[in-house]
Amino acid sequence: HVTPCERFNSLREGARSASALTHDSSAGTDVTGGRCCPRQPGCTQQQGHDTAALPSSNSIPMILNNAVNPNTIFANNEMSLQDIEIYGFDYDYTLAFYSSHLHTLIFNIARNILIEEHRYPEGLKEYDYIPNFVIRGLHYDVQKALLMKIDAFHYIQLGTVYRGLNPVPDKEVIAMYEGSHVPLEIMSDFYGKSSHGHTMKQFMDIFSLPEMTLLSCVNDYFMKHNIDYEPVHLYKDVKEAIGDVHVKGILYRAVEADIEKYICYGEQTHAVLRKLSENGKKMFLITNSPFDFVDRGMNYIVGKDWRDLFDVVIVQADKPGFFNDRRKPFRRVTDNGVLLWDRIHKLEKGKIYKQGNLYEFLRLTGWRGSKVLYFGDHIYSDLADLTLKHGWRTGAIIPELRKEIKIMNTEEYIHTMTWLQGLTGLVERMQVYRDPDSQAVVQEWIKEREEIRSQTKGFFNSQFGSLFRTYHNPTYFSRRLSRFADIYMASLSCLLDYDLRHTFFPRRNPLQHESPFWPEQGGLTFGTHQA
């Protein structure tokens, strides 16, 4: 028979081995102030303190043995590959993956455009790109010049609000927003943009990392030099400069000139396309990038015969407009980039098409409904309309997933999360004791819990934490991912581990009012991801 004290001490000793936690064991004290429960140091189960639901240190080896494979494909919605006849792909960060040099390139070019064309101070040249300063999915308050992480319930994660390169104190954030909730009317619009009165912009694609960093650096410079500026103008100028990097072709020419520096060799991408082709699957490509850029990259990744693998290739599609605007017809593009004027009556293999719209695509191909699976990295521009309006199955490519899973598989992270869940369970159960001594200890636990919650953020990103979690809640990014993607994975190469008749089943995670039905769910609960 295990008493509550023994159970709690077992948990405490297991968590102590985590390097992220420090307890003064020499003084015989810990988070409980030297006591294992809110009553007396030697309390027993007869005193009614039920800690049976807390994880013991014995659960830690079990969790470690159930480490998640980073190459797993995860399901939000049940889907069988046996039903999929046609596979579609975006290009950037779906078929082609880029090195970190690309973000530095975009940052430097856009910074110089601000200085040379928008007459921003020369002192901005002192700023270089800061890798890992920001993460994808952040919101930017255009009027207040604040970058922040927001959860699925529109609450700001305190401690993740930055003005320039510096954090904003929680009290100041609460004063500005009259709390930490962001009302629906000022949140970003459906596609994450700040328009029609929405003052928040959400940065959803990987190309936005240098844009967020540049915004932060320019804000930092103006504040350091006490320059009075209008945040809305700054945001629009940075947005325009970043847009020019793409629209004017500066980025494309730079990548094509040194393709080995910027594009990661895609041997596994090639293997995926070959596998689908050999199994008789039809394939198409819809990208916003120009043909010359795509052709150069695909020659490097797949080979000069890459076009033989695709039944339809569409470039400069202007997504997400491609999925909604019926007015733009397709145009043929020759291998030399010449636009033809003839009407398109069918989409032919081996030929290249520009612009167009999805409605015309559906009419010409007949590829409708759940037999089509489309992969992309942008939750809004690539996937949202396809799943909501057209019933295609969708797959999200989330490169950050592999790194986050590896972190969650570490012993240090598991120990920390086990301890955090234990503290949460203690606070939840012991809060019913209202005498001063009990409440004092509970308050110590609450303080310790908040400290550990802040520490967990640093496992993933020192400023903003995990892409997927704001402490225990999903991020706003996660909410959109779960709604618009049937499946998600770190890269297309994950498909190589699955038979093309495989069915993906989402985990039946218990709702808050349900009990876990399966033993492994109960056991793994204590490894819950928080950041």
The identity of residue 484, as a single letter, is F
Beta-bridge partners for 374: 88, 394
Going by their DSSP bridges, the two strands 469-470 and 473-474 should be labelled as antiparallel
Angle, to 10 degrees, between the axis of helix 208-224 and the axis of helix 231-247?
140
Kindly give, in sequence order, each residue whose CB lies less than 8 Å from that of residue 413, ignoring residues fewer than 6 positions away. 407, 456, 459
**Other C-beta atoms lying within 10 Å of the C-beta of residue 258:** 11
For residue 320, say if its preceding peptide bond is cis, omega within 30 degrees of 0. yes
Exactly one of 92, 382, 385, 486 is catalytic; name it: 92
**Dihedral sign computed on CA atoms, order 37, 38, 43, 46:** negative
Check the annotation: does 170 bind a ligand: no
Check the annotation: does 377 bind a ligand: yes
Can 92 be counted among the known catalytic residues? yes
Residues 142, 199 contacting (CB under 8 angstroms): yes
DSSP state of 79: E
Q: Which residues of 158-191 are buried (b: 16+ CB within 10 A; e: fewer)?
A: bbbbbbbbeebeeeebeeebeebebeeebbbeee
CA angle 468, 160, 423 (to 5 degrees): 70
Going by their DSSP bridges, the two strands 86-89 and 282-286 should be labelled as parallel
Exactly one of 90, 205, 237, 311 is catalytic; name it: 90
Considering only CA atoms, which of 27, 63, 11 is closest in space to residue 424? 11
Can 90 be counted among the known catalytic residues? yes
- What are the binding residues? 90, 92, 377
- What are the binding residues for GMP? 92
Catalytic residues: 90, 92
- What are the binding residues for Mg(2+)? 90, 377
